[in-house]
A = this chain, B = another copy of it.
Amino acid sequence: MSQLLRKHLEEIIPLTNAEFAYILSFFTERKFRKHQFVVQTGNSVNHDFFVLEGLLKAAYLTESGKEYILQFAMENWWISDYDALKNHTPAASDIVCIEDTHVLCLTAENKQKLCAEFQPMEHFFRIKTGTGFIALQKRLLSFMMQDTQARYQQLFETYPSLFKRVPKSMIAAYLGVSRETLSRLSAG
């Protein structure tokens, strides 16, 4: 199962068996059930999570109870509340399993150590964060420049599998529109 992590890392850095074993020793493994909270608003956040199997969401709730989804994470994705993790502040988001989920966990301290002791991992995270940054810029631009219809279309074409795994109300929460509006879109 953890071979998924190895493949994922090797998309950016080559690894020997010994190196991968060393890297893996910094991680712990956990399984969660559907609906379980991996991170909860207000609590401290200690780990970055790499998804081996399953599906999660990072969600924010307004006082009025509306939910906004910052990110989904499926196999081979990383997820956490990075602001809370980095700054040791209470989580502002909930990270919740949408399916039974299997993750590898890396504490902030271990990430730090791993990067310091083995430069290829520092390189890996630099590159990975860079691609994440670019992807976020694109998402932000799509929020600014495109109408809901176009954003929906684009999401559907980019991640068709997502639509089979999550209810439409969550797609709406990810696109930042009410479920009623989303419903009217997918019809027309």
Contacts and interface: CB of A to CB of B under 8 A. Distances in A.
A68 B144 contact: yes
A94 to B, nearest CB: 13
Given A82-B134, A130-B129, A133-B82, A70 B123 contact: no
A99 interface: no
A70 B137 CA distance: 8
Number of contact residues on A: which range applies? 20 to 34
Contacts of A132: 133
Contacts of A27: none
Given A144-B68, A176-B144, A126 B134 contact: no
A30 interface: no
A4 B51 CA distance: 40
A131 B85 CA distance: 12
A141 B125 CA distance: 23
Interface string A54-86: 000000101000001010000000000011001
Contacts of A138: 83
A137 B139 CA distance: 10
A83 B137 contact: yes
Contacts of A145: 60, 62, 68, 176
A136 interface: yes
A119 interface: yes
A166 interface: no
A76 B34 CA distance: 45
Contact of A140 (B126, B130, B143): B143
A23 interface: no
A144 B144 CA distance: 10
A9 interface: no
7 contacts: A68-B144, A82-B133, A82-B137, A86-B134, A129-B130, A136-B140, A145-B176
